[in-house]
Amino acid sequence: MAEDLSIGLDIGGTKMAFVLADRGGNVHAARTLPTNSHQGIDDTLARITREVNLFIEAHRGIRGLGIGLPGPVDAARGIALKAANLGWEHVAIRDALCWRLAKPLPIYVENDVSVGAIGEQLFGSAQGLGNYVYLAIGTGLGGAVMLNNQLLRGATHAEMEIGHISLDPVAGRPCACGGRGCLEMSISGKGLLASAREFRAEYPESRLHAAPITTRAVLRQAEAGDPLALHALDEAAAALGIACAWCANLFNPELILLGGGLAHACYHLIESKARRVMAAHSLKMNFDAARLALAQLKDAALGAAALVWYQQNTEASL
């Protein structure tokens, strides 16, 4: 009998990554294509269909297709509600793909941050755990919560918008959401840039003045001890510590995982301060229960492949 395999697809603003993986998370095949969302949804769906059908034709034992997408997703109905960087609004991607595949396959669609959280449970740092928080630190700040092995879900699929919880709604830095002082304006790529720009006049000696400030430059200069870059990282670490304290007090997780590109790039620079701030702002029992760790899975498509097993395991346990 053929080995059980699942196809994972991560659809991002610039690229679509496909993997074919087994239940152990071993990747049997992988492929990446440009998303080219400007060519329209039909073109994107046609290219996804072509790739998935190639996997279906070449491999036996494929049990499902898992898809991770940016923005809120109605997972029960397989609908991408709003993926701004793809230009998608209310796209019924599961139904659209369903009839195009060479063979009927269960299709699961989920928000990419939730996919990151699920991937950690099957193949990453949260293996064997049923209560944990996953924070995705990238250009922005997102999150997902697993409680008693169930993903926390809200009424309109927009739960855990932790990036837009405010530290200072009156005098804080303005955020694109219309609010002020949102966590995302301190702990994210956007936040590092905004902080470095806001305080640049106070650090005339900073090497960040030499060129346009980028997230990469802030990180590089922080490694070199630049005071303006360190100021931005310090602010980010404090904001992250508060976010972790809130998560510890609200959800009582056994683990808070930090995922996303920026988390991996700056964990060593912010971890110890974030932990101190978290300790100062959470209840001792909640702090003691919650380990802080870096997410392991860097392959978002593998997380999407894990989504198939997560959903099928969940259905089997009902």
Question: What does residue 298 show for φ and ψ, rounded to 5 degrees?
Answer: -100, -10
Contact yes or no for 228/102 (Cβ under 8 A): no
Rounded (10°) CA dihedral 244, 124, 315, 251: -10
DSSP string for residues in 88-144: EEEE-HHHHHHTTSSS---EEEEEHHHHHHHHHHHHSTTTT-SSEEEEEESSSEEEE
Task: For residue 165, state whether it binds Zn ion (rule: CB under 5 A).
Answer: no
The label of the residue with tokens 């990282």 reads 233
**Nearer Cβ to Zn ion (247/255):** 247
DSSP string for residues in 26-70: -EEEEEEEE--GGG-HHHHHHHHHHHHHHHHHH-S-EEEEEEEES
**Nearer Cβ to Zn ion (87/179):** 179
Name the minimum Å distance from CB 278 to Zn ion.
21
Name the minimum Å distance from CB 154 to Zn ion.
17
- Interacting residue with Zn ion among 16, 126, 182, 245 (CB under 5 A): 182
For 89, the 3-state DSSP assignment is strand
Contact yes or no for 35/44 (Cβ under 8 A): yes
Cα–Cα distance, 274 to 244 (Å, whole number): 8
| Interface segment toward Zn ion; rule CB under 5 A; list 94-102, 173-181, 285-293, 310-318 | 173-181
Tokens of 156: 């309109």
Who's near 212: CB < 8 A, 6+ residues apart? none
Cα–Cα distance, 277 to 294 (Å, whole number): 17
Task: For residue 180, state whether it binds Zn ion (rule: CB under 5 A).
Answer: no
Name the minimum Å distance from CB 165 to Zn ion.
8
Helix (H) or strand (E) holding 21: strand 15-22
| Interface segment toward Zn ion; rule CB under 5 A; list 101-109, 179-187, 224-232, 245-253 | 179-187
Task: For residue 177, state whether it binds Zn ion (rule: CB under 5 A).
Answer: yes
**Nearer Cβ to Zn ion (114/186):** 186
| Interface segment toward Zn ion; rule CB under 5 A; list 133-141, 156-164, 231-239, 258-266 | 156-164
Cα–Cα distance, 200 to 216 (Å, whole number): 16
Name the minimum Å distance from CB 36 to Zn ion.
30
| Interface segment toward Zn ion; rule CB under 5 A; list 51-59, 70-78, 162-170, 297-305 | 162-170
| Interface segment toward Zn ion; rule CB under 5 A; list 57-65, 78-86, 164-172, 272-280 | 164-172
Residue of 277, 295, 241, 292 lying closest to 119 (CA atoms): 295
**Nearer Cβ to Zn ion (137/290):** 137
Task: For residue 175, state whether it binds Zn ion (rule: CB under 5 A).
Answer: yes
| Interface segment toward Zn ion; rule CB under 5 A; list 139-147, 151-159, 170-178, 277-285 | 170-178
- Interacting residue with Zn ion among 87, 106, 179, 227 (CB under 5 A): 179
Name the minimum Å distance from CB 183 to Zn ion.
8
Name the minimum Å distance from CB 177 to Zn ion.
3
**Nearer Cβ to Zn ion (177/280):** 177
Where on the chain is the footprint of Zn ion (CB under 5 A)?
164, 175, 177, 179, 182
